[in-house]
Amino acid sequence: MQKGKLFFNIIIFITVFALVSLIGYIAYDYINKYFELKEAETVIEEFKNQVIVVALEDEEPNNEIIEQTPQTQTPTTQKQVNVSYRNYSVIGMIQIPKTKVEALIVDSVTPQSITAAVGVLYGPGLNQIGNTVLAAHNYRNGTFFSNNKKLVNGDKIYITDNRGQKIEYSIYYTYITSDMDFSYATRNTNGKREISLSTCTTDPTKRLVIWAKED
């Protein structure tokens, strides 16, 4: 009888300990992601502010007198936004109005870079001719590409690059493919600007891919 009670108490202790540990892990993960998102929001605002400054500077007339003939004049270099996030270069920002996404775009895709940002996985670069692939997490909290499954043809995506150029893209194709399929990345865009959004599904061997082209 005493042994049975002891065994029962041990089971209760293990169960309570497991529940407390699980709740602690969930709370830690939630708090960690909350602060990551807050940090990203701060950098987004910094990026936006610098975009405004770059745009204003580009509009300012150059009053400098250059004593050169037209044939030898050197073209001015367009200014760029210079912002970093967790040691990654921020090269732009993505906005998807339908899913209320506004996120940084960094220059690479690693486990660390896409904890709170979208990464460039492949392609010529943001708002360049050709197809640029952007990858992000499918979190359960609705952030980043979590709600990409709700996007349909005609929905808009806005990409602002670090030169301050903002391009509107329209979705025209959505499908699920194998995680081994990368053929969409190298497709011919016939000299147009296009983007592909890639994220995982509930099946880790599958990818949800969205194609969008410049309007």
Cβ atoms of 173 and 210 within 8 Å: the answer is yes
Cβ atoms of 204 and 174 within 8 Å: the answer is no
Q: What is the pTM of this model?
A: 0.76
Is the residue at 127 inside a domain? yes
Is the residue at 18 inside a domain? no
CATH classification at residue 115 = 2.40.260.10
Cβ atoms of 160 and 184 within 8 Å: the answer is no
Is the residue at 152 inside a domain? yes
Is the residue at 134 inside a domain? yes
Cβ atoms of 83 and 47 within 8 Å: the answer is yes
Extract the tokens encoding 109. 């895709």
Is the residue at 29 inside a domain? no
Number of domains in the chain: 1
- Domain containing residue 153: 38-59+77-214
Is the residue at 72 inside a domain? no
pLDDT digits (tens), the chain, 215 positions: 566 666 667 777 787 777 666 676 556 555 666 666 777 788 888 888 888 877 776 665 554 434 443 443 334 446 788 888 888 999 999 999 999 999 999 998 998 888 889 999 999 999 999 999 999 999 877 788 999 999 999 999 999 999 999 999 999 999 999 999 999 999 999 999 999 999 999 898 999 999 999 98
Is the residue at 103 inside a domain? yes
Is the residue at 168 inside a domain? yes
Q: Which amino acid is at 42?
A: T
Extract the tokens encoding 57. 């500077």
